[in-house]
């Protein structure tokens, strides 16, 4: 993965994907003692950064491949993005998801015209259905993260950050399978090698962090979390994102459910932004004092807004861990 791949992705989907704003956060800047900017990627057309990678991947296919149809496993946001990107190019998307994916995300994917398959209780089980459909029906797999075109598409967000905040010293990025983190880190470090990029994820089922600690991709138990978009494994045969995250990320920090809830509340009360749990992890890490050695401007990626509004309301009303009984069961 090179900076040229990321620059090519930006050119390829120009006009199809929004350039999202990066705005100052007075409250977080005061708390941290340095300028803090919020990259409002949750304002993206489908409500998350996933549209970048999905669109680049679909546009990179041949006409024959698009005619066969695309398929992917998803925790929700990639499925929504792929359904949108496929429909825009006259292709049909099939999205496989586990029972852990919130219904609001499932219904939106159906609304976009995708064929939805609900399979099992983990991302890995959904992926097994994807592989069956590829083998039996000839569909073209567009993975949610471990694919060069997907990573390059997500990396365009890093290009925008450097253009919008040229003196950025630290970028805080959500990390799950690593497509966003790898792409952003590749872009940012190509343009500003001294800038640190730190990945953020929830304590429950932190697949990339566990894999990096083990020195190889490992399986983790997928558990309910406010940051549901960060759930799922990285794939035992991971080819792209594990290596890139190992080489490019400066650290990965884990957050409790209570800390994620606090991040969501701050986004709403202080920034007037509605974000899902995965989108709030950067704010959460700053509020919890988990970022050390702050020596310059910080860019915080708000990666998605596709939260069930009933859940969002309960968090705004003080709920810190709606899933604790399920997680303990």
Q: Is the dihedral angle over the CA atoms 28, 32, 33, 34 positive or is it negative?
A: negative
Long-range Cβ pairs for the range 103-106 (8 Å, 24+): 103/308, 104/306, 104/307, 104/308, 104/309, 105/75, 105/76, 105/77, 105/79, 105/80, 105/306, 106/76
Report phi then psi at 244, rounded to 5: -65, -40
Is 189 considered catalytic here?
Answer: no
Length of the chain: 329
Residue that is written with structure tokens 């097994």 in the block: 128
The one catalytic residue among 25, 60, 91, 303: 303
The one catalytic residue among 25, 39, 50, 225: 50
Residue 45 structure tokens: 């057309």
Is 290 considered catalytic here?
Answer: no
Report phi then psi at 136, rounded to 5: -90, -30
Residue 177 structure tokens: 């399978």
Which residues are annotated as catalytic?
50, 303
């Amino acid at each position: 993965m090179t900076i040229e791949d990321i620059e090519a992705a930006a050119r390829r989907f120009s006009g199809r994907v929004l350039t999202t704003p990066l705005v100052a956060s007075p409250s977080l800047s005061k708390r941290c003692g340095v300028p803090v900017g919020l990259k409002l990627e949750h304002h993206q057309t489908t409500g998350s950064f996933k549209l970048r990678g999905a669109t680049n991947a679909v546009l990179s296919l041949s006409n024959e491949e698009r005619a066969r149809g695309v398929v992917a496993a998803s925790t929700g946001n990639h499925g929504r993005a792929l359904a949108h990107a496929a429909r825009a190019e006259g292709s049909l998307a099939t999205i496989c998801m586990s029972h852990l994916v919130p219904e609001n995300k499932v219904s939106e994917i159906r609304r976009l015209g995708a064929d939805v398959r609900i399979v099992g209780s983990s991302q890995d089980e959904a992926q097994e259905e994807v592989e069956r459909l590829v083998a039996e029906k000839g569909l073209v797999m567009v993975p949610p993260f471990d694919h060069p075109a997907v990573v390059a598409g997500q990396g365009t967000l890093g290009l925008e950050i450097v253009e919008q905040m040229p003196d950025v010293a630290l970028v805080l990025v959500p990390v799950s399978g690593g497509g966003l983190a790898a792409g952003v880190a590749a872009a940012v470090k190509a343009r500003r090698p001294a800038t640190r990029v730190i990945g953020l994820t929830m304590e429950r089922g932190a697949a990339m962090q566990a894999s990096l600690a083990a020195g190889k991709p490992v399986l983790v138990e997928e558990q309910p979390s406010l940051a549901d978009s960060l759930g799922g494994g990285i794939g035992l045969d991971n080819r792209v994102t594990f290596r890139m995250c190992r080489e490019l990320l400066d650290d990965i920090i884990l957050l409790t459910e209570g800390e994620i809830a606090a991040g969501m509340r701050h986004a709403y009360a202080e920034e007037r932004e509605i974000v899902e749990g995965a989108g709030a992890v950067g704010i959460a890490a700053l509020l919890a004092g988990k970022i050390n050695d702050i020596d310059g401007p910080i860019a915080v990626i708000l990666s998605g807004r596709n939260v069930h509004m009933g859940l969002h309301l309960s968090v705004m009303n003080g709920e810190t861990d709606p899933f604790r009984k399920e997680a303990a069961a």
